[in-house]
Structure 1
């Protein structure tokens, strides 16, 4: 099955913390980053998610925020890296952030935000993704 989500990051499940309704699934990427996902217990059971299983974190580009500087946030995923590409459109821009040796994350944000934050290749930044916005595929 092909999907349109721009960010498909492969790795291995590091842990599954089960709750009554949801679980927190932690994925260690092939490049060494950690991505956390909050998904339903039904999905954990249906996908047979356990530590050590190969999986892919799937994240829509519109669910990825970009930040610069020191930030204290509740978002579980704060992936530090360097911007490697900015493609500007009339209203929005596509920003790609290299997060480790193997992976990059792409964000679709407003052109105004790109200008206000001074986003350009070489700038250090963070991709901010709520755990509830991360899907897990196997």
Structure 2
């Protein structure tokens, strides 16, 4: 599969909770982390999402938020995965920040240059990536 979303996590469906309109799908990644996706009930049915099946969770780099200090706050975004910065590639307006999650998965985030400066991002720095469950697209094999 080829897709423009740079973050493509292979995993296995651990749980599916079907609601009236949406479904919450919990995907266990190979490194041990869990990604939660919120998709429509219709999509869950069309893709025949079931516990134990292999899926790919896709997340655009622009949907990733980087947090270096929660300052005692909790946030509503379901996906909060710890890791560390492995690379910083500045551009004219935005910077690509590469991170490695604790389980070994690689992730790319695009943030503004101002955000990199404000957060003091540097290689090796611990950081948590955050993204909403609605930012996850699920793909399954035909």
TM-score, normalised relative to structure 2: 0.94
Asked if the contact 2:35–2:79 (Cα under 8 Å) also holds between the matched residues in 1, the reply is yes
- The equivalent of 1:129 in structure 2 is 131
CA deviations over 1:100-119 (Å, ceiling 9, x no partner): 33312111110000011011
**Whole-angstrom CA distance in 1 between matches of 2:103 and 2:86:** 13
**Whole-angstrom CA distance in 1 between matches of 2:98 and 2:43:** 29
TM-score, normalised relative to structure 1: 0.97
Gaps (5+ residues) in structure 2? none
CA deviations over 1:16-69 (Å, ceiling 9, x no partner): 011001000000001111000000011101111011000011000011111111
Gaps (5+ residues) in structure 1? none
Number of residue pairs matched?
A: 138
More divergent stretch after superposition (101-110 vs 80-89)? 101-110
**Whole-angstrom CA distance in 1 between matches of 2:67 and 2:38:** 22
- The equivalent of 1:20 in structure 2 is 20
**Whole-angstrom CA distance in 2 between matches of 1:101 and 1:135:** 21
